[in-house]
A and B are shown apart, each in its own frame.
Chain A
């Protein structure tokens, strides 16, 4: 188990890591400063944030141990996040399917 940390000397504050973090444990607006910071106790070591960082400034902090109850809470949050993402995808897929169906039937073209 590892958690991650952000090298602030390289970070450009694009916020991509924060937007993809399933536990919302990467903070920016609540830091009071323009800095992206990982709250390690919310990290579930999912490995999603590091690959999206365009300047490779997210690194593993090996050896950090998250207390079991915090880890359970973070995993629960991630599960809820995944559920919300899945629902959004299904909703979007339904809109797309309806739209493409309309196009196929030529409803709007008056065919």
Chain B
């Protein structure tokens, strides 16, 4: 008999309008983005987009593009966290963690709602811009876990379903990193006099603090007295941070050393 969790796993993500990830943009779509925001290549870099908003606050398309890029991750968050509410019931995790995932799902719904309202206040709508690397469901046949596991096969997908891995990567690393983006975006919005944008991202920021705290609390609880699991949590945190560092061109000395140490461990394991 198929369990509810299995059914959910087999059900592809969907949204109306449908997801349209930027990485599968056609040449025509790239030209359209070039026309609207100057360079389609910039669309994945939300930090640069935000600085463009600061530099050219009168350009409404750049504002729409920035908010659409962030909204993409909010929609992906609704999908991801709601799946965990169901799937993690088959894992040996506390019921309070399941409830925390339900709360996070609702938070992401509010964030997506706020983003939708903000885009509409600029005269646009969800779907005007493609989904960014950070979010969106991929086309049929591609891993539903997103770009971090694409190309790594079923084992990576399975790994991402583990609560410790998922919490460390998504809640602690990605949402912890998003704190900077939200706070700085809110500050830019304040500076250019866009009170609505400032308010929205200040609101999101507060929720992200809670999500990071939830993730950290449960990773601690689930890895207590288990050094292997703790190392795994640290490893996926490093992977997520390394991924982000490569995008921004910044990687700390400590992160480089961590990966070198991991390589040494892997080499010794191979004998």
User: Using a CB–CB distance below 8 Å, which chain A residues touch chain B?
Assistant: 11-16, 18-19, 24, 27-30, 33-34, 52, 54-55, 88, 92-93, 95-97, 99-100, 102-103, 108-110
Contact = CB atoms under 8 A, between A and B. Distances in A.
Contacts, number: 97
Interface in B41-68: 42, 47-48, 51-52, 55-56, 59
Contact of A92 (B34, B48, B175, B177): B48
Nearest to B235: A29
A54 B209 contact: yes
Contacts of A92: 47-48, 51
B51 A24 contact: no
A99 B253 contact: no
B238 to A, nearest CB: 6
Interface of B: 31, 34-35, 37-39, 42, 47-48, 51-52, 55-56, 59, 172-173, 175-177, 179-180, 183, 209, 212-213, 216-217, 219-220, 223, 230, 233-234, 237-238, 241, 249-250, 252-255, 257-258
A33 B55 CA distance: 41
Contacts of A100: 38, 52, 55-56, 59
A34 B235 CA distance: 10
B249 A88 contact: yes
A34 B48 contact: no
Nearest to B33: A108
Given A11-B216, A52-B183, 10 more contacts: A13-B212, A14-B212, A29-B257, A34-B230, A54-B209, A99-B38, A100-B38, A103-B38, A103-B59, A108-B38
Contact of B38 (A54, A55, A102): A102
A99 B37 contact: yes
B130 to A, nearest CB: 16
A97 B209 CA distance: 34
Given A55-B209, A108-B31, A16 B180 contact: yes
A12 B234 contact: no
Contacts of A19: 177, 180
Contact of B230 (A16, A33, A52, A103): A33
A96 B233 contact: no
A16 B39 contact: no
The 4 closest A-B pairs by CB, nearest first: A14-B176, A99-B38, A29-B258, A108-B34
B42 A12 contact: no
A102 B37 CA distance: 9
Contact of B223 (A12, A34, A95, A110): A34
Contacts of B39: 95, 99, 102
Contacts of B257: 29-30
B249 A14 contact: no
